[in-house]
């Protein structure tokens, strides 16, 4: 029996000619990632190890992004811990205020993730890098500590689900709508510990930013990882951002999949996930009259340049509805700068939105947009669990930048005007 794309990457990293679903392997790592919340825990775990050295100072990335610039004393202490560790070990890829961005947008932009890599990160949305044909997955802080010390990690080889994407999405349908549709279809545990492998001629109609969004939310279906084949667009992205060599793996024709789905992108509509799970999806025209208090456009899911361009296209010449708080968060400094040069920030500010420094901020209920009791937010983030963005009796509706921006104008969940 042949191997899937993910299984081929893991086999190579483990030094094996083949692997099978369910097999336990030890694989070499190309990158270990941590942030200002998860890294301190890993650093304190490393204090218990016999070794005091990291396996490779160039293959660890530490990104200060969740509570940065520091929002309080505790977050300042966390960042201080990571800064001291990065200095002690001369970590090459340490990104602090002025250089940082939201980790899963920043690392591909910096060229640190390429096809064929095996990447672990102490953040569940590490699966984002599958958009470039890498195997990437989230782990706990203890596994991050072991990875920093040894450069290796244990994995159970995942089985896979194949998603055959065909057709071309309509104007206001983006990668966010695609993945919300899929999660609504299979459920939040529909791909539990499985590789979500996206194939098909429809992929050519998805931008790299669309693919990053789809891979990013594989975890919201329970997936171990999400992964795309490496086409010309992905290769051009890597060549434009990285000096590293990469390796392209393709699934065997006789690779085994637990399930296969075909999704016609041309039939999809702008989609919203209602509280309190990403699987609770409705199309915007099914949403009814849902008034909102706040809009967040940003995050590791939808804070990239395409996302800001779409939001600006919707908001241009319009005003955020009175009483609505609209917060726009570019995902990296580079995206922030380019958005400024293109005049996007001017559009946001003139519409009545505010623009934040890059940060995860409100996505996890950190800061820059915490919700009070009874408030509703439509957000381009990735989770809408109870209390995720603030009070346990607040509500989060997940949507694309186009729908979020349109909703900011009307004050209720809305589709953009045609």
CATH number, domain of 62, equals: 3.30.499.10
Residue 418 lies in a domain: no
Final residue belonging to a domain, choices 205, 235, 263:
263
Q: Which domain holds residue 190?
A: 5-263
Tens digit of pLDDT for each residue in 33-47?
A: 999 999 999 999 998
Query: 275 with 258, same domain?
Result: no
- Does residue 418 have a pLDDT over 80? no
pLDDT of residue 417: 83
Residue 171 lies in a domain: yes
Tens digit of pLDDT for each residue in 81-138?
A: 999 999 999 999 999 999 999 999 999 999 999 999 999 999 999 999 999 999 999 9
Residue 23 lies in a domain: yes
Residue with tokens 């218990």: 48
Query: 89 with 170, same domain?
Result: yes
Higher pLDDT, 418 or 363: 363
What's the burial of 22, exposed, middle or buried (CB within 10 Å: 0-12/13-18/19+)? exposed
Query: 198 with 145, same domain?
Result: yes
Query: 189 with 168, same domain?
Result: yes
Query: 227 with 322, same domain?
Result: no
Residues 214 and 131 sit within 8 Å (Cβ to Cβ): yes
Query: 285 with 253, same domain?
Result: no
Query: 104 with 229, same domain?
Result: yes
Residues 272 and 355 sit within 8 Å (Cβ to Cβ): no
Query: 254 with 281, same domain?
Result: no
Residue 416 lies in a domain: no
Q: CA-CA distances (angstroms) from residue 402 to 276, 284, 295?
A: 21, 11, 11
Query: 257 with 274, same domain?
Result: no
Query: 68 with 138, same domain?
Result: yes
Domain count, the chain: 2
Residue 104 lies in a domain: yes
Query: 61 with 194, same domain?
Result: yes
Residue 347 lies in a domain: yes
**Position 288 confidence tier, pLDDT thresholds 50, 70, 90:** confident
Residue 177 lies in a domain: yes
- Which tokens hold the place of 106? 């920043």
pLDDT of residue 392: 95
Query: 89 with 157, same domain?
Result: yes
Residues 157 and 134 sit within 8 Å (Cβ to Cβ): no
**Position 1 confidence tier, pLDDT thresholds 50, 70, 90:** confident
The span from the CA of 272 to the CA of 261, in Å, is 21
Tens digit of pLDDT for each residue in 328-357?
A: 999 999 999 999 999 999 999 999 999 999
């Amino acid at each position: 029996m042949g191997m899937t794309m993910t299984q081929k990457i893991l086999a190579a990293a483990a030094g094996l000619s083949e692997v099978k679903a369910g097999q336990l392997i030890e694989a070499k790592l190309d990158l270990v990632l941590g942030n200002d919340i998860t890294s301190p825990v890993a650093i304190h775990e490393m204090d218990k190890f016999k070794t005091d050295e990291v396996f490779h100072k160039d293959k660890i990335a530490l990104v200060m992004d969740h509570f940065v610039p520091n929002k309080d004393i505790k977050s300042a202490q966390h960042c201080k811990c990571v800064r001291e560790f990065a200095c002690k070990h001369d970590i090459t890829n340490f990104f602090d205020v002025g250089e940082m961005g939201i980790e899963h947008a920043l690392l591909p932009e910096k060229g640190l993730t390429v096809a064929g890599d095996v990447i672990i990160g102490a953040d569940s949305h590490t699966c984002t890098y599958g958009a470039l044909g890498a195997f990437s997955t989230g782990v706990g802080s203890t596994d991050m500590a072991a990875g920093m010390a040894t450069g290796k990690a244990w994995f159970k080889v995942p089985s896979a689900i194949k998603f055959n994407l065909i057709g071309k999405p309509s104007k206001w349908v983006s990668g966010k709508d695609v993945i919300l549709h899929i999660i609504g279809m299979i459920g939040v545990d529909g791909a539990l510990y499985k590789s979500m492998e996206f194939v098909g001629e429809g992929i050519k109609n998805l931008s790299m930013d669309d693919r990053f969004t789809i891979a990013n939310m594989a975890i919201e279906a329970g997936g171990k990882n999400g992964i795309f084949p490496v086409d010309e667009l992905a290769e051009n992205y890597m060549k434009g951002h990285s000096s590293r060599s990469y390796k392209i793996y393709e699934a065997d024709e006789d690779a085994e999949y637990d399930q296969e789905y075909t999704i016609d992108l041309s039939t999809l509509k702008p989609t919203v996930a209602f509280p309190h799970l990403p699987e609770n999806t409705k199309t915007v025209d099914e949403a009814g009259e849902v008034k909102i208090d706040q809009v967040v456009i940003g995050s590791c899911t939808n804070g990239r340049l395409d996302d800001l361009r779409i939001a600006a296209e919707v908001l241009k010449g319009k005003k955020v509805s009175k009483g609505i708080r609209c917060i726009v968060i570019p995902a990296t400094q580079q995206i922030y700068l380019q958005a400024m040069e293109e005049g996007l920030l001017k559009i946001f500010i003139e519409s009545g939105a505010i623009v934040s420094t890059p940060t995860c901020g409100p996505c996890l209920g950190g800061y820059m947009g915490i919700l009070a009791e009874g408030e509703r937010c439509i957000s381009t983030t990735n989770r809408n669990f109870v209390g995720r963005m603030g009070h346990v009796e607040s509500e989060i509706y997940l949507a694309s930048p186009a729908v979020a921006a349109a909703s900011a104008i009307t004050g209720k969940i809305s589709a953009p005007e045609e």
